[in-house]
Amino acid sequence: MEVLRLAVSATQRGKLISAGYTSLSSLSSLSPSDLARDLQISESEASEILKAASHCGRLDNSDGSHAIVTGAQTAWDMFHEEDLSRCITTSCADLDNILGGGINCKEVTEIGGVPGIGKTQLGIQLAVNVQIPVDCGGLGGKAIYIDTEGSFMVERALQIAEACVEDVLEYRSLRKNFQACQVQMQPKDFLNNILYFRICSYTEQIAVINYLEKFISEHKDVKIIIIDSVTFHFRQDFEDMALRTRLLSGIALKLMKLSKKYSLAVVLLNQVTTKYSDGSFHLTLALGDSWSHACTNRVILYWNGNERYAYIDKSPSLRSASAPYSVTGKGIRDSASNYKRIKMM
Amino acid sequence: MFPNPHSQNKQTSLSLCVYLMRPENLLKQQEEALTTQKCSVGCPVLDRFLRGGIPCNSITELVSESGCGKTQFSLQLLLSAQLPLSLGGLSSSSLYLHSEFPFPLRRLQQLSHSFRSSHPTLFSSHDPCDSIFLHPLHSAHQLLDLLHNKIDSLLSNPPPNTQLPIKLIVIDSIAALFRSEFDNNPSDLKRRSSLFFNISTKLKSYANRFGLAVVVTNQVVDFVGSSDGLNGLRVGNLACLYSSGRRICPALGLSWANCVNSRLFLSRNEEVLGKETGLVDDDGFVQRRTKRQIHVVFAPHLPESSCEFVIVREGVFGLER
């Protein structure tokens, strides 16, 4: 762990490690106030740590021996970082379970399903949940919501935010952590922290995604990007399907890079379509075969009888599994029938 | 905080947030009420059911077999859109694109009459029908042409002889445009779905730019075959849709379902009154009545729910449970 080499006090080092700052690179893009908040120390103390880190970083670079592998990481370091990188809860325990704790930061997750299955609901839920404060196990970040379909409804987001505030207050009162309660949480603040872009054509979509890099470098507290849906504008008159594939893979690469660089989660919502092959129609996620390689994880939402289910279709680290969830007035929650089952036991 | 999109953004078709590369403020217009602007459907019970009415900035689809009240609903909407904001309307005129002929002019007059008498002060001097613009549609390409070339100027300049800008577009029905022209083979279906997305994109972008409420009506097809596999694919809250005792599904298939933001389903079923008691009336006939219901199939802002309604001379009205 690189922080062990920093010229800071042992308590500071301990705080850094427990907050997840193990490498110099993780400190390089931080502002003192961010660090102060994460470690709960004064801002001047934080800026001293950052100074020490940048000094240490310079030494490393001038050293020369590391030069050839600058930017490279050992698998061991990556493993540790992965351990520390946090998840955004979906508010449904079963769904979190199969996702390995929730939607992973640093990864691009694609979620697809038929109209009305709850894609937008899940998107809004994540945009709210990313803001759950750090002391309640959240990320305390902001969300970028790129709406291509116009299904984002302010009142629905407010409803979900209200339920989330209730949950947070309940969590805090359970832990009797009244000191942290001083920060008042208003559902309206949640809306303020959803940075909303309404997109009306694929040119705009590409423009916004190109612009995100700059935007996020100015808004480092963004922890999730949601595109609802990545598909919509790419399903009309593309004569040149090869061009479409190139544009889409360009988008995917940029988002992948952003998610790694700023350790934020990217969630792409996708539609389903019928595919004609071998003389019959099948159901599949839209945008074709080459797109299916573009995302790290792929989750499919579907109806199973009267229940909504999510299925991990593709993931490098998660096993394929499915779990029920439900869409309630409060947002995404555990499946009702499952809840009953637990209660009965 | 933001310049008025109507003055700033007339020439460019870029949406404002992209134009400025700045996220929209979700709290902007909603100082007092944090909701999307809605257009009343002209009945307090139905408005409550729909949480205020038909939402602006999105496409709402009404789907039902013929004779269930799609057109009644739309006509009533054309009138209530003219109500001032304080009464749940949009204080706007409306554009009605109809592909089913003839246009039910007499019914509109009838509705307008009762509408006028229930708001005597508002419409003392002018006829609400003056603020309704009609345009016939004959093909999907004509609709696309209209959306690409003509509608822009109509929306940006309030039409003559009315002060109200157009804030409501009703397309009755979208299905009729597509039912004859396309075959049931892969290449035609692909062409068709590309057209869907084209039309929907255009409608949504106008809805967003001008704050329009867009309503499209859709027909149904009978459900044939087994319910497993693709055929019985469930879309939305209801596992299967029933109307007039038959299982039906919305026309135009899955790709069109991806093009609308909300889908409402109007059903009609015969109900035998007093079935349990075996009551018959004096003449020995079993009393029947038509039970009409509106269901939320999917909508980003509405829970799974349904509401019974009746169609009477004065219009469409919801029944309180």
Q: Mind listing the pLDDT tens digit for each residue in A77-104? A: 777 666 666 889 999 999 999 998 899 8
Specify the pLDDT at position B202: 93
CATH number, position B183: 3.40.50.300
Q: Yes or no: say if A287 and A231 are a contact pair by the CB < 8 Å rule.
A: yes
C-alpha pair distances (Å), A77 with each of A72, A74, A82: 10, 5, 9
What percent of chain A has a predicted confidence (pLDDT) above 70?
86
**Which DSSP symbol is given to A159?**
H
Q: Mind listing the pLDDT tens digit for each residue in A198-230? A: 989 889 999 999 999 999 999 999 999 999 989
ipTM over 0.90: no
Asked if the structure places residue B54 within a domain, the reply is: yes
Q: What average pLDDT score do residues A284-298 get?
A: 87
Min Cα–Cα distance to chain A from B129, Å: 30
Question: Chains A and B: how many Cβ contacts under 8 Å?
Answer: 135
Asked whether the predicted pLDDT for residue B257 surpasses 80, the reply is yes
Least confident window among A37-46, A245-254, B301-310: A37-46
Domain of residue B185: give its range: 35-318
Asked whether the predicted pLDDT for residue A345 surpasses 50, the reply is no
Residue A74: pLDDT band by 50, 70, 90 thresholds?
confident
The one-letter amino acid code at A61 reads N
Q: Mind listing the pLDDT tens digit for each residue in A99-111? A: 988 998 889 999 9
Q: Which domains does chain A have, with CATH numbers?
A: 2-74 (1.10.150), 85-344 (3.40.50.300)
Q: Is A156 in Cβ contact with B14 (below 8 Å)?
A: no
Asked if the structure places residue B23 within a domain, the reply is: no
Three-state SS at A308: strand
Q: Which residue has the higher pLDDT, A181 or B99?
A: B99
Q: Which residue has the higher pLDDT, B5 or A136?
A: A136
pTM for the model: 0.82
Paired strand residues for A282? A275
Residue A343: pLDDT band by 50, 70, 90 thresholds?
very low
Question: How far apart are the C-alpha atoms of B164 and B92, rounded to whole Å?
Answer: 5
What percent of chain A has a predicted confidence (pLDDT) above 90?
42
- Tokens representing B228 are 């497993």
Minimal Cα distance from B24: which residue of A? A196
Specify the pLDDT at position A52: 77
Burial of A138 (C-beta count, 10 Å sphere; 0-12/13-18/19+): buried
Asked if the structure places residue B19 within a domain, the reply is: no
Asked whether the predicted pLDDT for residue B192 surpasses 80, the reply is yes
Q: Is A115 in Cβ contact with B263 (below 8 Å)?
A: yes
Average pLDDT in chain A: 83
Question: How far apart are the C-alpha atoms of B138 and B140, rounded to whole Å?
Answer: 7
Residues written for chain B: 321
B300 vs A151, A231, A272: nearest CB: A151
Q: Which residue has the higher pLDDT, A280 or B150?
A: B150
Segment of A49-58, A183-192, B168-177 carrying the highest mean pLDDT: B168-177
Specify the pLDDT at position A235: 87
Specify the pLDDT at position A312: 93
Query: What is the tally of structural domains in chain B?
Result: 1
Question: How far apart are the C-alpha atoms of B207 and B15, rounded to whole Å?
Answer: 11
Question: How far apart are the C-alpha atoms of B101 and A191, rounded to whole Å?
Answer: 46
Asked whether the predicted pLDDT for residue A290 surpasses 90, the reply is no
| Helix extents (H) in B21-66 | 44-49
Q: What average pLDDT score do residues B212-228 get?
A: 85
Q: Is A303 in Cβ contact with B18 (below 8 Å)?
A: no
Q: Would you tell me which residues 21-80 of chain B have a C-beta closer than 8 angstroms to some C-beta of chain A?
A: 21, 23-27, 30, 34-36, 51, 55, 57-59
Q: What average pLDDT score do residues A24-51 get?
A: 79
Asked if the structure places residue B140 within a domain, the reply is: yes
Burial of B84 (C-beta count, 10 Å sphere; 0-12/13-18/19+): exposed
Asked whether the predicted pLDDT for residue B13 surpasses 70, the reply is no
Asked whether the predicted pLDDT for residue A59 surpasses 70, the reply is no
Q: Is B36 in Cβ contact with A155 (below 8 Å)?
A: yes
**Which DSSP symbol is given to A317?**
S
Q: B195, B209, B301, B304: which to substitute to probe chain A, counting the most A Cβ within 10 Å?
A: B301
